[in-house]
Amino acid sequence: MKIKERTVGEIEILKDKANKESDAKQRDRYRSVIFAIEGFKAAEIMAKVGRSKTFVQIWCYRYRNGGIEALIPISQPGRPTKLSADQEPRFIERIAAGVTEEDGVCTFHGKDIVRILEEEFGVEYSLFGVYDLLHRLGFSSLKPRPRHRKNDPEKMDQWLKNAPFFSAECRKKTRRRR
């Protein structure tokens, strides 16, 4: 693969960037270009960096046409969220406030949030989509188990104080293995 001769300074910059790069894919982009500048053929570069011919060609051509700046990949926007930016703060407030009597549950589950999104925000999410949304907004689906309204902490403490412990006599009566 032939790339027009570059200055020694550019090769040193590429080597320096490749050595400092923590992302393996980006590092391989730099290394592919370095090997191409040094005169290696595409098949040899593929073997050295462990990437496909298309990968090597794309990034070498991008460097040839645009220089070092062209080796940085363009950010992909991805799919837009179903919940609009205006609705997100209201949704966060609704979930952070906790359950209401109208919800009919003592704590939120994924299906409850799917229902809330459909009824109150007019947006359809799958169960996995709800979990991704909650994670993106900083919520955790793993929370401690809620206490039941009839749970009496004083009675629990009293039971723990009066609970029987295994004594040494109980252990003597159990059979031991030989």
Residues 139-176 pLDDT 10s: 886 666 667 777 888 888 888 888 877 665 655 666 66
The answer to whether residues 45 and 100 belong to one domain is: no
The answer on 24 and 60 residing in a single domain is yes
Instruction: Let me know if residue 17 belongs to a domain.
Output: yes
Q: Please state the domain count of the chain.
A: 2
Q: What is the mean pLDDT of residues 6-25?
A: 87
In a domain, 29, yes or no: yes
Has residue 94 been placed in a domain? Answer: yes
Q: Which of 71, 101, 126 is the last residue of a domain?
A: 71
Helices (H), 110-173: 110-121, 127-136, 153-162, 168-173
- 99 close to 133: Cβ distance less than 8 angstroms: no
Would 142 be classed as within a structural domain? no
pLDDT at 173: 62
* Same structural domain, 67 and 91: no
Query: 92 and 122 in one domain?
Result: yes
Structural domain includes residue 169 = no
Domain for residue 51, yes or no? yes
Mean pLDDT, the chain, rounded, equals 86
Check whether residue 15 and residue 62 sit in a common domain.
Answer: yes
Note whether 66 and 27 are same-domain residues: yes
Would 64 be classed as within a structural domain?
yes
Q: Please, are residues 103 and 114 in contact by the beta-carbon 8 Å criterion? A: no
Task: Clarify whether residues 61 and 13 are in a common domain.
Answer: yes
CB 16 within 8 A of CB 28: no
Instruction: Tell me which of 16, 44, 71 is where a domain ends.
Output: 71
Quote the domain boundaries for residue 51.
8-71
Read off the pLDDT of each residue in 71-92 and give the average, rounded to a whole number: 89
Q: Among the ranges 25-34, 75-84, 146-155, 164-173, which has the highest mean pLDDT value?
A: 25-34
* List of residues 6+ apart from 71 with CB closer than 8 A: 26, 29, 30, 33, 59, 62, 63
Q: Establish if 141 belongs to a structural domain.
A: no
**Same domain assignment for residues 52 and 107:** no
Q: Say whether both 48 and 17 belong to one domain.
A: yes
